[in-house]
Structure 1
Amino acid sequence: MGIFSRTRDIFAANMTELLDRAEDPARMIRMIILEMEETLVEVRASAARSIADGKEMRRALSRLDEIQTGWTEKAELALSKNREDLAKAALMERQKAADMAEGLRGEIAVIEETLKSYEADIAKLQGKLREARARQNAIATRFESALTRAKASELLNGGRTQDAFARFDILERRADLAEGHADALGMTGPKSLEEEIADLRSSDRVDAELEAMKAAMKAKGE
Structure 2
Amino acid sequence: MGILSRTSYIIKSKLNSILNRAEDPTETLDYSYEQMRDQLQQVKRGIADLTTQKKRLEMQKRRLEENVEKHNEQARTAVKQDREDLARKALEKKKAKMNQIEELDRQISNLQNQQDQLVEQKDTLQTRIEEFRTKKETMKARYSAAEASTTVNEAMTATGEEFEDVGRAIERAEERTQDMEARSAAMDELRETGAFEDVLTDKDQIDQELDDLATDSGVEAELETLKSEVDGESSGTTSTSAESATESESTEAVDPDVEAELSEMQDEDG
TM-score (norm 2): 0.51
1:100-120: per-residue Cα shift (whole Å, max 9, x none)? 111111111011101111111
1:3-53: per-residue Cα shift (whole Å, max 9, x none)? x655214458998xx89xx56554543443233222211111111011111
Q: CA deviation at 1:157?
A: 2.1
| Moved beyond 6 Å, runs of 4+ | 12-15
Secondary structure, aligned partner of 1:82: coil
- Structure 2 stretches of 5 or more lacking a match? 171-270
* Percent identity for Structure 1 against Structure 2: 19
Partner of 1:152: 152
Q: CA deviation at 1:131?
A: 2.4
Partner of 2:125: 125
Between the two structures, name the one with larger relative contact order (CA 8 Å, sep ≥ 6): 1
Report the more deviating stretch, 23-32 or 105-114. 23-32
Task: Determine if contact 2:67/2:94 at 8 Å carries over to the other structure.
Answer: yes
Task: Determine if contact 1:7/1:39 at 8 Å carries over to the other structure.
Answer: no
Alpha-carbon distance in 2 for matches of 1:95, 1:146: 75
Residue from 5, 8, 22 that aligns with 2:5: 8
Partner of 1:203: none
Query: Which amino acid in the other structure matches residue 66 of structure 1?
Result: E
Q: CA deviation at 1:61?
A: 1.1
1:37-80: per-residue Cα shift (whole Å, max 9, x none)? 22211111111011111112111111111110000000000000
Report the more deviating stretch, 118-127 or 151-160. 151-160
TM-score (norm 1): 0.61
Q: Which has the larger radius of gyration?
A: 2
Alpha-carbon distance in 2 for matches of 1:13, 1:55: 31
Q: CA deviation at 1:121?
A: 1.0
Secondary structure, aligned partner of 1:117: helix
Partner of 1:202: none
Q: CA deviation at 1:124?
A: 1.4
Secondary structure, aligned partner of 2:4: helix
Partner of 1:73: 73
Secondary structure, aligned partner of 2:82: coil
Query: Any residues of structure 2 matched to 1:49-64 within 5 Å, and which?
Result: 49-64=49-64
- Structure 1 stretches of 5 or more lacking a match? 167-222
What is the number of equivalent residue pairs in this alignment?
A: 156
Task: Determine if contact 1:11/1:125 at 8 Å carries over to the other structure.
Answer: no
Task: Determine if contact 1:29/1:132 at 8 Å carries over to the other structure.
Answer: no
Partner of 2:106: 106
